Amino acid sequence: MQSFVAAVVQLKSGSDKAANLAEASRLIGEAADAGAQLVALPEVFAWRGPQSAEPAEAETVPGPITEEMGALARRLGIHIVAGSILEAAAGGPLPFNTTTLLAPDGRLLGAYRKIHLFDIDLPGRVTIRESDLRAPGAQPVCVTTELGRIGLAICYDLRFPELFRALADRGAEIIVMPSAFTKPTGEAHWEPLLRARAIENQCFVLAPNQFGTNTQGFANYGNSLLVDPWGKVLARGADDRAEVLTAHLDGDLLARVRRELPCLEHRRLRP
């Protein structure tokens, strides 16, 4: 991979889609002005509202949101990972939770449908059953770009190392993971798991997160992170504000880590 500046955008998205898109676009522009060639948005960045309204908010990929993000990528001349949106499933009652990668010329380079759906019950804190609302994806997605090989994951996928290893097997050098990680689980596991995924797969990991109490009434953790292949945190967000975080991704560092500690080549157990 080449060396370049990457950015993640931290947001608190609500049920006003136009306002969410305007804020995301503003912060993407801020990241581009800071020199970022790859900018990533968090999970469900474009709309978070009542569950009863979700079917009406789902749209196709490509569709209006990806076209708007593609036009922005083209205007700014950058790659954009457009967080995630509700993707209408052809012939299915439930939408997918889908992230997309847009090229500097606006083309849709790849779309990943979240495989692992978040079902959790923490008594007195939070209950979420994503599988009641979403259809699961089935395929890992890793895309060749001029910056390097980019793998895609979403939020709860973080707890399943086999997906990240599958991305590494497909040549991933950078893994982007849009998230809306909850505060209780984030306080316990967000940083250690992100650093572990970066270390064990010798990849840069970019994790833009939502922050603040959302429309469903539970708190997201914020603390968006960019992590290098040695597990070093390059940049960290706050837990209480929208912001842009940038870091220099050093392609020479990636090559050196993989050369000096070639653990990906030393594997004995393979699928």
Question: What residues are annotated to the active site?
Answer: 43, 114, 155
Peptide bond before residue 62 is cis, with ω within 30 degrees of 0: yes
Token pair listed for 177: 């993971």
**CB neighbours of residue 158 within 10 Å:** 24
The answer to whether 154 and 84 are in contact (CB under 8 A) is yes
**CB neighbours of residue 11 within 10 Å:** 29
**CB neighbours of residue 196 within 10 Å:** 17
Instruction: Write down the H helix ranges in 120-218.
Output: 161-169, 183-185, 191-201
